[in-house]
Amino acid sequence: MVQRGLTLVEMLATLAVLALLTYFGLPGMARLLEETRSETAIHAVRGGINFTRSAAATHNQPAIMCPLGADGHCHGDWSQGFAVFVDTLGNARHDPETPVLRSFAPVPRGASLRFRAFGTTRHLRMLPNGQTAWQNGRFEYCPPPGSRARPRVLVVNVQGRGRLLRPEDIDPGRTSGPNRAVAC
């Protein structure tokens, strides 16, 4: 007679192996998911910078990337999302007659995003030639408290280009320079 099923012992052994793989694999997957969220957030900022450069060149006027409040002013909390618009009046305020070209979503709940730069940190102004208005600096993304993801840094130079620092390039012992530590 030919046996066509599994015995109880074979099924229990398979379940035990599956349980062990799940037990050891899930924490690694959770960290991978947290790291992916961090990468996605900082890449959105990089995309915003590139879009702002493009908008300034396309419209042949300065373009602003900032966390835009309901009142049309750049309020400074980058974690709540940000928008890009053409600065038709030259005052870094959104003119109601000019459309917002693009809005970017907030960072994940509990995370923070800061812009540290020379001059103002309320907005990033791109000129029609693709450069910033002397605003070299860096965006710092801090994951939510309790997350095992590492902080991310995007350095912006005067030419308006963003350079992502690898997490392993951020030196926790440095207090100055582009590779300085991120205070989360």
Give the whole-angstrom CA distance, residue 26 versus residue 96: 49
State residue 153's pLDDT score. 92
- Side by side, which strands form the sheet with 112-117? 112-117, 137-142, 152-156, 162-165
Domain containing residue 15: 8-169
* Residue 135 belongs to a domain: yes
> Domains in the chain: how many in total?
1
Give the angle 166-168-173 at the CA atoms, nearest 5°. 120
State residue 102's pLDDT score. 95
Give the whole-angstrom CA distance, residue 178 versus residue 7: 62
State residue 1's pLDDT score. 64
* Residue 152 belongs to a domain: yes
pLDDT in tens, the chain (184 residues): 677 777 888 888 888 888 888 787 777 788 888 889 899 999 999 999 999 999 999 999 999 999 987 777 888 789 999 999 999 888 888 888 889 999 999 999 999 999 988 878 889 999 999 999 888 889 999 999 988 888 999 999 999 898 988 877 777 777 777 677 787 8
Give the whole-angstrom CA distance, residue 19 versus residue 127: 57
* Residue 179 belongs to a domain: no
* Residue 182 belongs to a domain: no
Beta strands, E only, the chain: 63-66, 82-86, 100-104, 112-117, 124-126, 137-142, 152-156, 162-165
Residue 21 belongs to domain with CATH number:
3.55.40.10
* Residue 178 belongs to a domain: no
